[in-house]
Structure 1
């Protein structure tokens, strides 16, 4: 391990209860650094289980409820984390893995705030989390966002999802109530659209993270069937994703939850690529994100739209209580 490694630190992980996030939790629990954990997720009972796994492994862990489809819970989670740090109950986080995301079977659903559900979860909530996390971090901390090969186009996603569109954020945030919006094709495009937007936004956040003395990178887990990501698909399609598609893990740019989680946590904690900043990492390899994401004007326009549409919320005094303690 290097001088860049995180030792006796606090690590934040979103989505630790299933799929890749659960495998990331396993990797953190077996890591020799034994970091203290803040686990954020939607299901309080599943979170209790994740905290229990950590305690059984002798790791200090707390859980905070977070529903990425409702910015009120995002703000409340940030308020709770802020309170824990300010009261000295946990040390300021030194590593943050924003793993949680979603894919839906259509483009008709909305978040609580009325934003198209995929864009709300995969882009808007991530933006609000990064913005809220940065002031809470220890000096020299590391944030990792979750990218996807779908942002590169249909061929890079094994032809499973449509190519994304570099559309204005106001358009991506709109639901589609038409018949076309009810199709799996529309849901797939919403997902690839959201990942292109998130990777584009990551460049803007990397500059701001560096100005605050932190690092920010984007991790691409590859194609990882069997994770529950597509649980809103029809039963037959979801069964195939969960039970047949995992055989594709032998292909290049495909992986298993455990293997990709190892790469992700090694990146997060500095076991690989120490000091890396502002980069895109696929399954442990540093690569380049898709060319459209490097358009500076598009990056800043997307960032400005986010800040205007979702301004900073005032800190809450009545933030939700943590559902697990050390």
Structure 2
């Protein structure tokens, strides 16, 4: 079969990403749906194809914690001769609950996967985006102090501090690094949106950020301690109505949130989608801090400098070339 468009979903082998990929594959059997993660031990791509009685979903390995691996992934993509990318879901994330860990590139792991790796992936894939393509970055309501719900309050000092996790942030809990990475997602979305506005409307990709809500049972807590893993994977999924009543109505199954993510990426009206922050299918205001352009620009400039191999590539990334 000759496919007309591509979709790429990072973290698409489980949870939110899996169900978003499933929804998009079902609606667009003439598109190729690529799910990318470190591994696909559960054969998620085959599961989607078997469920839909189709063959348009495939898996490609991607390690977002390695800038070199991301570049190799894009080279692999080129050899596949996929059609232009219509939807790019920058969805993968994790929490590291213990002491600071860093990637082979010397970047704090949470920030590396949630933001840095996705930013490089976007810049390298920019030439392969279809006209009027859509990019959705999975963030979280925890980026907003007004919606912290027991999580540490996010604090943006600088991109350099988020990346290096030196004193004073090295001693902070892993959950604080997680909420900071989710704030970075929204800051970067607004910085990117401003730059995309310089492209002619008929070709311009658009970008938004998405809060899936709390999703008990998903893989976000895979590195937590035994008791919390039991609560997260066993107790909480059986208590969703109670949790919605006691804590927050924005608590969903991964299937519900995956369907919402697919809807935002594929069906939200263009005038509502571009440069917006969604809680489920509702366009809402993001945190006060996320609108601060000084922080947005600090993050943008640090990112293009540190993911580029040289000044020429940095200029290319800054100009969205």
Query: TM-score band (shorter)?
Result: 0.7 to 0.9
Equivalent-residue separation in structure 1 for 2:229 and 2:148 (angstroms):
17
Equivalent residues, number:
297
- Counterpart selection for 2:137 from 132, 145, 150: 145
- Counterpart selection for 1:231 from 203, 208, 222: 222
- Counterpart selection for 2:235 from 244, 247, 268: 244
Measured after TM superposition, the shift of residue 191 of structure 1 is 0.3
Equivalent-residue separation in structure 2 for 1:54 and 1:105 (angstroms):
31
Match of 2:209 in 1: 218
Runs of 4+ in structure 1 over 4 Å off: 176-180, 312-315
Measured after TM superposition, the shift of residue 289 of structure 1 is 0.9
Equivalent-residue separation in structure 1 for 2:87 and 2:18 (angstroms):
17
Equivalent-residue separation in structure 2 for 1:45 and 1:228 (angstroms):
13
- Is the 8 Å Cα contact of residues 196 and 205 (structure 2) preserved in structure 1? yes
Measured after TM superposition, the shift of residue 126 of structure 1 is 1.5
Please report the TM-score for the alignment, with normalisation by the length of structure 1. 0.84
CA distance 1:180–1:95, shift in 2 (3 Å): closer
More helix by share: 2
Please report the TM-score for the alignment, with normalisation by the length of structure 2. 0.85
The DSSP-based 3-state class of the residue aligned with 2:164 is coil
Match of 2:88 in 1: 96
Q: Any residues of structure 2 matched to 1:269-284 within 5 Å, and which?
A: 269-270=266-267, 272-275=268-271, 276-284=273-281
The DSSP-based 3-state class of the residue aligned with 2:94 is coil
- Is the 8 Å Cα contact of residues 193 and 206 (structure 2) preserved in structure 1? yes
- Counterpart selection for 2:65 from 66, 69, 90: 69
Structure 1, 73-82 or 228-237: larger mean CA deviation: 73-82
Indicate the structure whose relative CO is greater, using CA pairs within 8 Å and at least 6 residues apart: 1
Structure 2: runs of 5+ lacking an equivalent: 314-321
2:289 is the alignment partner of 1:298 = no
Measured after TM superposition, the shift of residue 151 of structure 1 is 0.3
- Alignment deviations for residues 33-68 of structure 1 (CA, whole Å, 9 cap, x no partner): 55211221101544xx23323443313233321111
Equivalent-residue separation in structure 1 for 2:73 and 2:197 (angstroms):
24
